[in-house]
Chain A
């Protein structure tokens, strides 16, 4: 890990706050209304932010605390909020996440929910909860913690079954759909969790749904403990995840893999699926891999020796780096607002034997990134929309990946994973570099 001056201020952060991640994870569970226990603003700001990427409605309820609640505690508002959500949305699950306000005033949410259940005189939906103070961790910690909380609180003791749990992490809606297709093609009965591929990328409708259809089905989640294997993707995951919760509670075997990005990580992923399913890798994917390798050869002259800055969530950055070094692009700077403590190690692992170790920074903002980039030769940026101003000032092309993408359409439909995702990224990266060369050329070649 390289050194960075210890600034007190954060300027143009490269992260979002913890409850946002929790809201996204809860949105990936069938019949769930995400509920933030805090000020009204948290829910509204996060809705606005999520909408800007997914172009999809997302209702996040709030306990809308006011001044007197901050003094006397937010229990009454939390309960009233639950009442109202149950009345209006008739959810199967309400996922309550805390905020910095309610953590700081010390509201004991598990206790308040227990009281609420005791006081109830009718059938309640499942109430799950996660602690997500935004002063401790980023949206990624919130996402992982919410998934872990749901896995702990919704699962039941069941008989061992032939199903497989797949916990991909914070990937795009297109990625989730692709993973579903892969699992189906292996005939694996998979619980893909959380799954917001429909709830945050749904169809046009005649009526506004109380809760959009989709999400990991509750019956699948309940039975996750009995699965023959959990595959959990991510290089920089914390100690406690949905996968480790199941391993601890039900002794469900856990396989930790990196995100299936690029050739090597996707190979490992498919090998794991072949093993667990006892089937060969379907022809479709072998062919896709073959085409991918063929295209790498076609593209390599445009890519070889190019230098890139990659920023965003740590797992996404590691996955992208893994792909980049395979296609001959040298990542020179990897940066994240996250602070897992595992970032540099994970980058080192995927670049080994392929490229020199890039500079790796965790817990940094865009001011830091730009400062460090001053002395670097760069051809390309990869990351979300918030890097655009940097890219524009430097006249560098930006390949948009991850979240948020709110200056282009279809961020939720970008495919990053598998051979198909790698193909998509390779084509996009290559064409971005070709377009840059073409646009910068005084000749105006129409044949590149």
Chain B
């Protein structure tokens, strides 16, 4: 069944735990016609920069790219909400023929006057790369006139995959870092990279760090502010979550400012605790480590009694995971294990060789591991493994639902807090509420099983 549903050209991107050699083919362009779940370079950039709430995000191109990314995410702001608006130069035929630079200039001036942003990101889309608009020059001119950073984001959709978009976003952020004042920053300070403040998660993470005695300089980019990002080079450590979305910025900051970085995940009990311990260990402060242990003890004592109820109800159930970044997949595998569930399938849009190797190591025998999958494959895997719940994003949801499989949204659109200790409980509850719903009893899949 697995073999049947996978195109020959994609056979190297579907593996089973236990395959020898395991070697996953990945980080390659999507197969034409395969209906990949991936988006494009622009999407990668937009995902990273979207939550910067006091910046203007102007999409230079025809209307589609801007309108499909208008207020679609659960990334919250504690103040300005410019990021929730959609701005486009809405290029028309004449602009394509004669060039869009003039329109871009006028649009920038108009919008900066209208909204008074602290900076502007200008995203290039597919055709901007083709018609040859000089984004850099227009941005420079407007920056000089308006006295704010105006940053081109080289995110032409076709110039690679989502990872290339991460890279373009990091390049834009890197131009901001180092331009602010770093006075009065504590030596025990960090930047949070790769958390996007979905449902307010970064507020909770910041509160954890505050409790153990760490100052957060900049959120990159959840509830992000331009002024904070400009002084991010004053922090002692970059704490990086998420598979590579902001890793490149951390690398640049290491090279340029000598700021080391550690990789963490805030999802699941083990990984959340580990993140706090790792930061405390980095600062080599026994009191901070003790604070972290105390915090974990305290949170777990609140959490565990409730979690146990879900563990009992969910023990032995089977999960499937398909997410954007592989790092989230690691955490999800561990989180399901904590709930007593098994993971029958796990995959990502943008994992690397090392990511898949690690996934293979933590996965149960026989688990399907897949890179850059598509609806036909995913639906075949769900059926073959007879899973009870599927974790993914909006594009995966109807696949699960159509087949009568429970679902948990773990993507950028979600409105539920799933990170941290509290988030683990929300996650368990959400999985439980979906899996235990009576509606599946009426789904054809279960009626077959029950011979109703």
Contacts and interface: CB of A to CB of B under 8 A. Distances in A.
B406 to A, nearest CB: 13
A8 B89 contact: yes
A48 B395 contact: yes
B89 A134 contact: no
Interface string B1-43: 0000001010000000000000000000111111111111111
A15 interface: yes
B259 interface: no
A397 interface: no
A85 interface: yes
Contacts of A138: 63
Contacts of B88: 9-10, 13
Main secondary structure of the interface of A (DSSP, over half): mixed
Contact of B87 (A11, A70, A99, A207): A11
A61 interface: yes
Interface string B151-163: 0000001111100
B399 A17 contact: no
Contact of B92 (A38, A39, A136): A136
Contact of A10 (B9, B37, B66, B403): B66
B338 interface: no
A84 B32 contact: yes
Given A8-B89, A88-B33, A135-B93, A16 B64 contact: yes
B307 interface: no
A262 to B, nearest CB: 29
Interface in A134-154: 134-136, 138
A19 interface: yes
A445 to B, nearest CB: 33
Nearest to B383: A207
Contacts of A386: 70
B263 interface: no
Contact of A100 (B61, B86, B160): B61
B70 A12 contact: yes
Nearest to B106: A8
B34, B61, B96, B108 — which one has the most chain A CB atoms within 10 A of its CB?
B34
Given A101-B157, A101-B158, A208 B29 contact: no
B149 interface: no
A13 B43 contact: no
B129 A70 contact: yes
A77 interface: yes
A212 B331 CA distance: 35
Interface stretch (A51-59, A122-130, A240-248): A51-59
B111 A9 contact: yes
Nearest to B68: A45
Contacts of B258: none
Contacts of A157: none
Interface stretch (B183-191, B357-365, B420-428, B441-449): B441-449
Interface residues of B, number: 79
Interface residues of A, number: 74
Contact of B95 (A9, A19, A44, A135): A135
Interface string B76-120: 000000001111111111011000000100111011001000000
A42 interface: yes
A11 B111 contact: yes
B40 A47 contact: no
B379 interface: yes
Interface in A193-223: 202, 204-208, 210
B126 interface: yes
B317 interface: no
B448 A206 contact: yes
A40 interface: yes
B43 A59 contact: no
Contacts of A133: 62, 93, 96
17 contacts: A7-B110, A10-B87, A11-B114, A13-B63, A13-B66, A13-B86, A16-B63, A44-B36, A44-B39, A47-B395, A49-B68, A61-B33, A61-B34, A67-B160, A82-B33, A100-B62, A104-B126
Interface of A: 7-13, 15-20, 35, 38-49, 51-52, 55-67, 69-70, 77-78, 80-85, 87-89, 99-101, 104-105, 133-136, 138, 202, 204-208, 210, 337, 386, 389
Given A39-B41, A101-B158, A204-B443, 7 more contacts: A10-B90, A40-B40, A45-B69, A48-B394, A51-B394, A57-B402, A100-B125
Interface of B: 7, 9, 29-43, 58, 61-71, 84-93, 95-96, 103, 106-108, 110-111, 114, 125-127, 129-131, 157-161, 374-376, 379-380, 383, 394-395, 397-399, 401-404, 442-445, 448
The 7 A-B pairs with the shortest beta carbon distances in the complex, nearest first, are A41-B40, A17-B64, A84-B33, A208-B379, A81-B33, A81-B32, A8-B106
